Chains A and B, each alone.
Chain A
Amino acid sequence: MTERGSDRLREQFEREALVHLDSVFCFARSLTRDETAAEDLTQDTFLKAWDHWRQYTPGTNCRAWLFTICRNLRTRQAERDKRIELADTAELDSLASAALHAALAEPDRDGGFLDMPEFGDALKHALARLPEEYREAVVLADVHDQGYPDIARILGVPLGTVKSRLFRGRRLLQESLLAFAKDAGIVAGGA
């Protein structure tokens, strides 16, 4: 390849891929829960993305492509727990969330109290404790605005599994918030 051709590719890579460094690092950190491991995973992701840059179709969802590489690398790195795949429980989790709402939203039915800073900290801790399969679905949907079909491709699972994992993850987060709110005396039922 000519030097000029290589420079053009590098410019294109910087413009389309490297601009997503913060997002990829954030996703890597949500997978590893460790800053140093997240940096290593992010670096491996971008080096691999560069190596396979010709396979990327310019103008498509580059962030989702990077998330896919990142997630595949992570899967290979870690021997994952083999969890029993959930059946179609998405609807059940939605309904359970509605029931939770009744308890959690006791002080303010619209959830305005969720703006309190302590809920932000409580949620960060709850997210870190969430099993990885739920955490990655929640982070992709709710932090990085990826749609269900893109998440399905990134995680390599069917659409129904995306919904199951996402809704279960959200419900578990709400349960954690409810426990926090009870302990803090914000809603009734605490110790």
Chain B
Amino acid sequence: MIDCQDVMKRLWEYLDGELPDEDVAKLREHVAICGRCSPQYRFQIAFLGLVARAAAAQGPRPEFRRRLIAALGSASPPAA
């Protein structure tokens, strides 16, 4: 059995896919039926989505890309 306190402690690990397999099913079952934990679960998903969107990978300026490729082109081959 897993209680609400355990779910709150381990929710991020679960969402990060880092929870041991044996705990995943227990947490999933609890969240599915618990009126206290399921909004928390959906909120954390929305929060992590916001972080990913807000800080999404934006590339460098095109001039920088060209400068880097030129610098690599004139660099010596990798050391053996």
Contacts and interface: CB of A to CB of B under 8 A. Distances in A.
A143 B56 contact: yes
Contact of B40 (A6, A98, A148): A98
B42 to A, nearest CB: 4
Given A42-B60, A42-B68, A43-B71, A143 B52 contact: yes
Nearest to B60: A25
Interface centre among B8, B11, B49 (most CB of A within 10 A): B8
B25 interface: no
The majority secondary structure among interface residues of chain B is helix
Interface of B: 5, 8-13, 16-18, 39-40, 42-61, 64-65, 67-69, 71-72, 75-80
Nearest to B49: A114
A23 B57 contact: yes
Nearest to B72: A50
A77 to B, nearest CB: 18
B43 A105 contact: yes
